[in-house]
Amino acid sequence: MRNSRRNAPSVNAGSMADIAFLLLIFFLVTTTISAEKGILRKLPDKCANPPCDVPFNERNVFRIFINFENKIMAEDEIIELEELKDLVIAFIDNNGENVCGYCNGEQQPNLSDKPSEAIISLKHDALTNYGMYIAVQDEISDAYYDLRVAYAKKTFDKIPDELSKEELKAVKEAYPFILSEVNVKRN
């Protein structure tokens, strides 16, 4: 019986920890981590000199609401996502006061006075799909981008990539991106 204890089979587990560690490193290195889709925005600076409320004309606010069913309502009308960009462009570029020399709008009485006063107000339900929210944000951004590209071509005869810093600043001042996001109330 003494011999059976001495010759008992055993497993050399000294390198098991090394193998497990190498496998862990291999899977960490080869696994891809998907990046979340987000919104690139530069938020305005905090108001330094109160009062921070700016008076505005009601006609200069374009209201967009996304409900819990992901339906879009713009100015109290249900619309499709594909319609939103054209509505935003028409609102911003309206030239209601007839003081904007570069605007191409139809001077409708219910749309904005001029691009520097046009405010897009976006509100959504707490149950709105994040993908729909991003799609609406993209449509609004595309509208501003198209207006800025047209202005750059008309004024400087250049595409945005060819603009100098001063020209780019002038384009952004002509069509400032003014978006007001309303806080979502959750029950």
Q: What pLDDT digit, counting tens, does each position of 150-169 carry?
A: 999 999 999 888 999 999 99
pLDDT at 4: 54
Confidence of residue 182 (pLDDT cuts 50, 70, 90): confident
pLDDT at 36 over 60: yes
Domain residue extents for the chain: 58-181
pLDDT at 142 over 80: yes
Least Cα distance to 60 among 97, 104, 86 occurs for 97
pLDDT at 95: 84
Q: Which residues contact 78 (CB under 8 A, 6 or more apart)?
A: 71, 72
pLDDT at 136: 95
Entry pTM = 0.74
Mean pLDDT (whole number) for 81-108: 90
pLDDT at 164: 92
pLDDT at 29 over 70: yes
pLDDT at 39: 67
d(CA 60, CA 77): 17
Reported as a single tens digit per residue, the pLDDT across 39-94 is 666 666 777 777 777 777 888 999 999 999 999 999 989 999 999 999 999 999 99
Mean pLDDT (whole number) for 110-134: 91
d(CA 141, CA 177): 8
What is the CB neighbour count within 10 angstroms for residue 60?
Answer: 19
Average pLDDT, the chain: 86
